Homo-oligomer: A and B are copies of this chain.
Amino acid sequence: MNTLAEENYLKAILNISFNTNKKVSTNEISNVLKTSPASVTDMLKKLLEKKLVEYEKYKGVELSNSGKQYAINILRKHRLWETFLVEHLGFNWSEVHEIAEELEHIKSTKLIDKLDAFLGYPKFDPHGEPIPNKEGVIPNVKSTSLDQMEVGFAGHVLGVTIDDKLFLDYLTKLNIKIGTKIEIIQKIDFDKSLIVRIENIQNHISFDVAKNILIKNN
Chain A residues with CB under 8 Å of chain B are 85, 88-91, 95, 98-99, 102-103, 105-108, 110-111, 114-115, 118
On whether the beta carbons of A108 and B99 are closer than 8 Å, the reply is yes
CB distance from A171 to the nearest CB of B (A): 21
Provide the bound-state CA to CA distance between A102 and B109, in Å.
13
Closest B residue to A102 by beta carbon equals: B106
Total identical chains: 2
Which residues of chain B have C-beta atoms less than 8 A from A106's C-beta? 99, 102-103
Assuming A98-B108, A103-B106, what are 9 further A-B pairs, CB within 8 angstroms? A88-B118, A89-B114, A89-B118, A90-B114, A91-B114, A99-B108, A99-B111, A102-B106, A102-B107
Q: Separation in Å of the A132 CB from the closest CB of chain B?
A: 20
Q: What would 20 A/B residue contacts be, using CB atoms closer than 8 Å? A: A85-B111, A88-B118, A89-B111, A89-B114, A89-B115, A89-B118, A90-B114, A91-B110, A91-B114, A95-B110, A98-B108, A99-B106, A99-B108, A99-B111, A102-B105, A102-B106, A102-B107, A102-B108, A103-B103, A103-B106
